[in-house]
């Protein structure tokens, strides 16, 4: 390739000492060529001019870009080109063949130039294809990355859904456990503090037994204790207030002394109908209440017994007493729970009797009592 590309310089070197005149045939051929049309001249001129321009351009390009070829030339023996060119034996070549060879060589140079341009264009196309392939590969990678991202997002979504499902399951389990704990906590609370956490049952019955002291203001008496019984019906109006009505059988008595060893014993039997309010502000194990109200007393019987050292006389003195009377009741109540619906009560009471006698007397009777019993709530 090096000898072909530098063929012009090699020809010039070989033709420096060539001085032989061409034959007549050569001149005839030249004349024939000169007689051609101007068009042919222009074409030949164009080919020659183009060939020399292409050769010079090719030489410049090769001299600038192919340093490797120049190095190979420098390392090779300088006599090789001459020895190779000497094989052409220009001395033995006719003159007409020299022109043909020059034309052929220029044609070959042009063809080589065209071939090189084709190769360059092909290389450029290959590089463009490579760049397109790389671009497409990069774009495909980007698309793959773009496609992978939603997959990761889908995985993340699945993971999040799984996490939310596990969290919801954990929440449900925690709710179940908390409900169980609340049930366990509520059970002892209901057992211990059912009376405080909830209003008590509305209704209750309170049968009771009471000890009464029947006394009087401004009069000395003795032998005044009696046992009585009765029943209360209670209704819980509010958490703190209870309304109750009842019925009691009262047997009261009192004894007084007179002159000459005279002893007078007064007995009176009543049916008592109390109407009372019971207020309980304190919520403790032993519930304390304040009681106030009144009672309607119906007289059943009244007897007066007079006793001396020698005799005893009992007379009925119903006329001395009014057939009915009222009493004002004040007291306190103490209640403790003994079993579920059963409560024990202790209630000290003071009752002042208003005009029990038909005639006016100088003293005023009253009763002090302590009642106790079991209250059943329902």
> Which pLDDT score is estimated for 370?
97
Question: Does pLDDT of 92 surpass 80?
Answer: no
The listed range with the strongest mean pLDDT (48-52, 69-73, 369-373) is 369-373
260 and 373 inside one domain: yes
Question: Does pLDDT of 286 surpass 70?
Answer: yes
The listed range with the strongest mean pLDDT (81-85, 260-264, 315-319, 353-357) is 353-357
In a domain, 83, yes or no: yes
Residue for token pair 């024990």: 344
In a domain, 142, yes or no: no
> Which pLDDT score is estimated for 78?
45
In a domain, 9, yes or no: yes
218 and 352 inside one domain: yes
Question: CATH number of the domain that 318 lies in?
Answer: 2.40.160.20
In a domain, 172, yes or no: no
> Which pLDDT score is estimated for 214?
94
Mean pLDDT lowest among 32-41, 270-279, 315-324 = 32-41
312 and 225 inside one domain: yes
> Which pLDDT score is estimated for 172?
62
Number of domains in the chain: 2
Question: Does pLDDT of 69 surpass 50?
Answer: no
Residue span of the structural domain in which 351 resides: 199-377
Question: Does pLDDT of 74 surpass 90?
Answer: no
Mean pLDDT in residue range 255-284: 91
Question: Does pLDDT of 96 surpass 50?
Answer: yes
Mean pLDDT lowest among 32-36, 155-159, 219-223, 359-363 = 155-159
> Which pLDDT score is estimated for 1?
45
Mean pLDDT in residue range 91-109: 58
Quote the distance between the C-alpha of residue 100 and its chain's center: 98
| Span 171-223, pLDDT tens digits | 565 556 566 566 555 554 444 444 445 556 899 999 999 999 999 988 888 87
> Which of 77, 108, 130 lies at the terminal end of a domain, its last residue?
130
113 and 228 inside one domain: no
Mean pLDDT in residue range 45-71: 64
> Which of 95, 130, 165 lies at the terminal end of a domain, its last residue?
130
125 and 203 inside one domain: no
Question: Does pLDDT of 24 surpass 80?
Answer: no
In a domain, 185, yes or no: no
Question: Does pLDDT of 56 surpass 70?
Answer: yes
Mean pLDDT in residue range 131-148: 50
365 and 237 inside one domain: yes
In a domain, 167, yes or no: no
> Which of 115, 130, 145 lies at the terminal end of a domain, its last residue?
130
In the beta sheet, which residues pair with residue 255? Answer: 222, 265
Question: Does pLDDT of 77 surpass 50?
Answer: no
Mean pLDDT in residue range 88-105: 55
123 and 210 inside one domain: no
221 and 364 inside one domain: yes
In a domain, 152, yes or no: no
214 and 305 inside one domain: yes
> Which pLDDT score is estimated for 80?
44
238 and 371 inside one domain: yes
313 and 231 inside one domain: yes
In a domain, 143, yes or no: no
122 and 230 inside one domain: no
Question: Does pLDDT of 87 surpass 90?
Answer: no
- Rounded to whole angstroms, the maximal C-alpha distance in the chain is 215
């Amino acid at each position: 390739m090096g000898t072909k590309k530098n063929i012009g310089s090699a020809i010039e070197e070989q033709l420096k000492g060539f001085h032989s005149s061409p034959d007549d045939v050569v001149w005839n051929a030249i004349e024939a060529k000169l007689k051609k049309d101007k068009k042919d001249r222009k074409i030949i001129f164009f080919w020659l001019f183009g060939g020399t321009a292409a050769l010079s351009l090719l030489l410049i390009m090769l001299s600038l870009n192919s340093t490797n070829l120049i190095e190979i030339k420098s390392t090779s023996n300088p006599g090789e080109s001459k020895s190779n060119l000497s094989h052409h034996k220009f001395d033995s070549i006719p003159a007409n063949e020299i022109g043909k060879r020059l034309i052929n060589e220029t044609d070959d140079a042009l063809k080589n130039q065209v071939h090189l341009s084709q190769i360059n264009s092909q290389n450029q196309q290959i590089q463009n294809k490579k760049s397109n392939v790389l671009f497409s590969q990069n774009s495909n990678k980007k698309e793959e990355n773009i496609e992978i991202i939603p997959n990761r997002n889908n995985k993340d979504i699945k993971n999040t859904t799984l996490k939310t499902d596990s969290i919801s399951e954990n929440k449900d389990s925690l709710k179940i456990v908390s409900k169980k704990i609340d049930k366990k906590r509520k059970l002892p609370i209901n057992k211990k503090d059912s009376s405080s956490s909830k209003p008590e049952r509305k209704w209750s019955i309170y049968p009771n037994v009471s000890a009464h002291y029947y006394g009087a203001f401004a009069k000395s008496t003795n032998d005044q204790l009696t046992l009585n019984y009765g029943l209360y019906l209670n209704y819980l109006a509010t958490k703190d207030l209870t309304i109750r009505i009842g019925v009691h059988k009262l047997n009261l008595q009192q004894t007084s002394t007179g002159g000459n060893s005279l002893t007078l014993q007064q007995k009176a039997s009543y049916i008592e109908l109390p109407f009372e309010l019971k207020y309980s502000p304190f919520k403790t194990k032993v519930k304390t209440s304040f009681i106030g109200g009144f009672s309607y007393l119906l007289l059943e019987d009244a007897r007066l017994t007079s006793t001396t050292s020698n005799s005893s006389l009992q007379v009925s003195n119903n006329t001395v007493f009014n057939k009915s009377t009222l009493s004002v009741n004040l007291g306190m109540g103490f209640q403790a729970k003994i079993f579920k619906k059963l409560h024990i009560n202790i209630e000290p009471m003071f009752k002042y009797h208003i005009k029990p006698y038909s005639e006016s007397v100088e003293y005023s009777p009253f009763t002090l009592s302590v009642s106790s019993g079991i209250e059943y709530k329902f």
